[in-house]
Structure 1
Amino acid sequence: MTSVAEIEDAVSRLPPEDLAAFRAWFEAFEAERFDRRITEDAASGKLDRLAEEALADLRRGDVREL
C-alpha cells in the first residue's frame, strides 16, 4: 500500500502540467464525494433539522441577503 508520504513525494516531483492535471482531478474527486455525502445525508433525513431551522429563521425575517 502507498503511504501518504510516498504520495506527497510523488506529487511534489510532478512537472507543472501534470500537477495541474492532478489538481483538477483531485478537485473533481473531492467534489463528487461531497455531493454524494450531501445527497445521502439529505435522503436519510440528517439535514431536516437544519432545514427547519433555516425556514424558521426565514419566517421570522431573521435572514440577510448574501
Structure 2
Amino acid sequence: MEQAKKHDRKIMITDIAIDKVPLVEVPGLTRDECEMIACEHKHLLRTAKDSNNSDEVSIIIKL
C-alpha cells in the first residue's frame, strides 16, 4: 500500500497484484455477479499490463 501513495513514479502492474484482486461482496449483487466483476477486474489489469504498458484502461460491463 505504501507504494500506491508514491506519485513520483509509475507503479507497474504485476502478475502478483493481479492474483491478489479480492472478491468484493457488493450489497444487492449476487455472489456470481461479484465473482464476474472480480474476474473482469483481473482481465482489465492483465490487459493494462500486457497491452498498455501498465497505463490506465477502462471497461464497461453489463450486469
Q: Sort the TM-score into its range (normalised by shorter chain).
A: 0.3 to 0.5
Greater RCO (CA < 8 Å, at least 6 residues apart): 2
Tell me the TM-score normalized by structure 2: 0.38
Query: By percentage of residues, which structure has more helix?
Result: 1
Tell me the TM-score normalized by structure 1: 0.36
